[in-house]
Structure 1
Amino acid sequence: MSKTRIAFIGAGNMAASLIGGLRAQGLDASQIRASDPGAEQRAKVHAEHGIELFADNADAVEGADVVVLAVKPQAMKAVCQALKPSLKPEQLVVSIAAGITCASMNNWLGAQPIVRCMPNTPALLRQGVSGLYATAEVSAAQRQQAEQLLSAVGIALWLDSEQQLDAVTAVSGSGPAYFFLLIEAMTAAGEKLGLPRETAAKLTLQTALGAAHMAVSSDVDAAELRRRVTSPAGTTEAAIKSFQADGFEALVEKALSAAAHRSAEMAEQLGN
């Protein structure tokens, strides 16, 4: 990436996070540019990262090796169609917009090499994970550029098929909200058991953080970690049995299937 020139179309939170990650990795501000319709947002990103910003998307992509589409899915069609005359065939297009297929982008942009990816919101803290899919037109060097781009805010994982992005959306794209929901529920339950709300919240948050660190750093899977902290006839076993008696695993599977189905449905709706 030392000589790669990157243009961001849209300079919102996710784009700003990627820009910050790239700058932290040593990419010079002169190699990054962005466009955004909001003057206030342009000023903010320039002040934070020192990059050049434009109101016009066409000005931003001129001379870029990689063009990152970081706009809302509902705006993608109009943005792509307006950008098409300004793109060169060799420019890599990386989309971080949920629910917009490579086929739709090719219809709007023409025959560009495209990498579609699904990051998640912890990327804002450089703790994200992204699923990536590349079209056949993407070269090995361009795949490496896309991977390094997304690795600036976390982990980047390549997928074998574009359809798998619906599953990525269900597992990790929407996933942070599931953990937030569990944190909400555990905090509320702790309060009902007699703890002050602030205490219940701190206990829950630190437990979630500690469990995640253990799972990431361990050489065994989550099932084994669970077994290791579940003593026979103990308190943890009582809670786990209650979860499972009420169909916890089936409920999670049903919820993620609903998210994946909605992801595929959105792709069909937004791609027209």
Structure 2
Amino acid sequence: MQREHQAILQGKRLAFIGCGVMAEAIASALLRAELVDSHQLTGGEPNARRRQELSTRLGIRIVPDNREAARDADLVVLSIKPQTLETVMRELHGQLAPHQVVLSIIPGATIARLTSGLGHPLVVRSMPNTPAQIGYGMTVWHPAPAVDEAGCAMVQAVLEAMGQAIRVEDEDAIDMATALSGTGPAYVFLVMEALIDAGVHLGFPRAIAEQLVYQTMLGAVLYAKESRKHPAELRNMVTTPGGTSAAALYELEKGGLRTVIARGVWAAYRRAQELGQGRRVAQPE
């Protein structure tokens, strides 16, 4: 697979519009996997300190002007915050060449909004997540109809450098993925935090509680994936009638854990759709 991706990206130039955490994660993954050389990557970043920092760390060219960054790229990655999207689209409107593919990782930004704002039909929408920074990301993506298979292959090669990537046929699945896998690490981190705090409350030193929780979470995920069993089946396997797991699970179910998680995911989904429409909503009291 690596050789195939190397062949696809050979000679291709990539530009990152916005050089934040995710742009650095993608660039680092591509360089680490030796899919591209540093001279194939360019970044557009208004913050001088960030330009210097990323240029020093990755050895890539970073410029303050987005149009200059995008000029010679085959793939233009929109890795900016949703709040700056309108400004950046105005900068790039009518500036992109017919062959250039735009890959957006902006939450909620729809293909219709991007193609209209950029005046450009070759747009791919995607949603990665933060484990992409260590090569264990999960990205869901969807291309506009105008993107050909060569363009899709280029996007797939880039996204798979960060972990797994799934192409979906329905664009609405991107908002669903934003709520489930894109926001998902935050749910996991919250559960980890709660378990660590519970361990400290029991009497463990925090360092030991952290070690116990991290390894338990990691082991459980790897075991579930390798076993190919449904999570309910795995849960039943470790739940002895009248035992400690049964007592704990009773309290979790009684407290509505499933319902609270489902409500959180739905809230993230609705917010992703609001962001896609450029709407600002008041936070609940």
Q: Which category describes the TM-score, using the shorter chain as reference length? A: over 0.9
Query: 1:85, CA displacement in angstroms?
Result: 3.1
1:8 to 16, 34, 56: 16
Find the counterpart in structure 1 of residue 227 from structure 2.
Answer: 218
Q: Deviations over 1:62-115 (max 9, x none)?
A: 221110011111111110111123211221000011121111111111132111
Structure 1 counterpart of 2:24, which letter? A
Q: Could you tell me which of 194, 198, 222 is aligned with 1:189?
A: 198
Residues 101-156 of structure 1 deviation map (CA, whole Å, 9 limit, x = unaligned):
11111111113211111111111222211110111011111111111111111111
Give the Cα separation in 1 of the matches to 2:207 and 2:57. Answer: 33
Describe the SS at the equivalent of 1:157: strand
TM-score (norm 1): 0.94
Partner of residue 269, structure 1: 278
Q: CA deviation at 1:198?
A: 2.7
Matches of 1:55 and 1:95, distance apart in 2:
19
- Is 2:161 aligned against 1:152? yes
Cα distance, 1:30 vs structure 2: 1.7
Task: Look up the match of 2:95.
Answer: 86
SS of the counterpart of 1:100? coil
* Cα separation, 1, equivalents of 2:189 and 2:125: 26
1:135 is matched with 144
Q: CA deviation at 1:189?
A: 1.6
Residue matched to 2:83 = 74
Give the C-alpha shift of residue 217 in structure 1: 2.6
CA RMSD of aligned residues (A): 1.6
Contact 1:70–1:95 (CA under 8 A) maintained in structure 2: yes
Tell me if the contact between 2:42 and 2:69 (Cα under 8 Å) persists in the aligned partners: yes
2:46 aligned with 1:43: no
Name which of 263, 275, 279 aligns with 1:254.
263
How far did 1:17 drift? 0.9
Contact (CA 8 Å) 2:140, 2:168: kept in 1 or not? yes
Distance 1:5 1:218 in 2: 41
Partner of residue 54 from structure 1, selected from 49, 63, 76: 63
- Determine which of 240, 243, 252 is the counterpart of 2:252: 243
Mapping of residues 99-118 of structure 1, within 5 Å: 99-118=108-127
Q: Secondary structure at the match of 1:160?
A: coil
- Contact 2:14/2:41 (<8 A) preserved: yes
**Equivalent-residue separation in structure 2 for 1:55 and 1:246 (angstroms):** 51
Query: Are the aligned partners of 1:84 and 1:110 in contact in 2 as well (CA < 8 Å)?
Result: yes
Q: Is the 8 A contact 2:14 2:75 kept in 1?
A: yes
Between the aligned partners of 2:102 and 2:159, the Cα distance in structure 1 is: 13
* Alpha-carbon distance in structure 2 between the residues aligned to 1:30 and 1:189: 49
Q: What is the rounded CA distance, in whole Å, between the counterparts of 1:195 and 1:45 in structure 2?
A: 40
Which portions of structure 1, spanning 4 or more consecutive aligned residues, are displaced by more than 4 angstroms?
A: none
Q: Is the 8 A contact 2:29 2:133 kept in 1?
A: no
- What's the CA shift string for 1:185-209, capped at 9, x where partnerless? 1112222223233322221122112
User: Residue type of the partner of 1:167?
Assistant: M
Aligned to 1:64, the other structure's residue is in SS state: coil
Percentage of pairs with the same residue: 37
